[in-house]
Amino acid sequence: MLPIGDIEIYLFNDATAYMDPGGLFGLVPRVLWSRYYQADGRHLIRTATHNLLIRAAGANIIVDTGFGNSLSDRQRRHLHMNEFDGAHQGLAALGISPDEIDIVIDTHLHDDHCTGNFRLDAEGRRAPAFPKAEYLVQRQEYEDATQLNERTRGTYKPENYVPLYAAGQLRLLEGDSEIVSGVSALVTPGHTRGHMSVRIESRGEQAAFLCDLASLAVHFERLAWMTAFDVEPLVTLETKRRWQRWALETDALLIFPHDAIRPAGRLTQNERGRLTVQPVSFAYDNPKSLR
């Protein structure tokens, strides 16, 4: 557990998967990114799929739902996934049932962040993973995720969110929104136009789940480094510039969605102006580590 003032943050790794570095680093050449992350014999890099449980203002809030348990064996093999469903294992270890989740924040609707919106039961039936929760996403994100094109249809899967909206369980946000006291969902565009990060504030302490504004810690250190999946990379760059300033001013705890080496840390700047994310030590709140 990572406390921020009176707010409790629990960090789960929902799945461990192995990705082609071309997706993670885009135009950054191997000679540079390999100083920080090592590819295995298959030329793949180990990644995490982080989800949060935030307990604030009497509410249980899930931030992103990962892959959950509804991928087929073939889909898991395609993702080189050797661990999955860690968020639900983590909730169970904490003694929290899916019915006790009040709010789910989908930072954006790429399948690695919201496939776990639904869940397969023992009979293979698909239903909302958190039956009593209100799901939240930006209206801009929902519109883009339901009007697919050749670039976006590989990462948006409407079955993960359209049924929720049709049932009235998914609410569309109109810009920056306070979810409960101390927890805000803020638009951080670039990765997608409606992408959000989640800021947590309590008793003078601050934290942020940056999500794919910076998928890895090194993406936040270097403005020009970003994934190949960003639909508006120059917008990502300027959004990161603003958030770098905020992180330095507040000494905020930063949480990165896919970094298996530095999942969390604080941004520092040396006398020459070089920015570095200093890792913060913690234990995952899963019953077993998926690292």
- Give the whole-angstrom CA distance, residue 54 versus residue 200: 9
Taking only the tens of pLDDT, the chain with its 291 residues reads 999 999 999 999 999 999 999 999 999 999 999 999 999 999 999 999 999 999 999 999 999 999 999 899 999 999 999 888 999 999 999 999 999 999 999 999 999 999 999 999 888 899 999 999 999 999 999 999 999 999 899 999 999 999 999 999 999 999 999 999 999 999 999 999 999 999 999 999 999 999 999 999 999 999 999 999 999 999 999 999 999 999 999 999 999 999 999 999 999 999 999 999 999 988 898 866 555
List beta partners, residue 105.
Answer: 63, 136
- The candidate with the shortest Cα–Cα distance to 140, out of 182, 101, 103, 177, is 177
Tokens of 254: 């930063």
Question: Do 210 and 197 meet the contact criterion of CB atoms below 8 Å apart?
Answer: yes
DSSP-assigned letter for residue 90: H
List beta partners, residue 101.
Answer: none
* Full-model pTM: 0.96
Contacts of 263 (CB under 8 A, 6+ apart): 11, 13, 48, 50, 255, 256, 282
Burial class, 204, CB count within 10 angstroms (exposed 0-12 / middle 13-18 / buried 19+): exposed
- Give the whole-angstrom CA distance, residue 267 versus residue 244: 8
- Give the whole-angstrom CA distance, residue 71 versus residue 37: 27
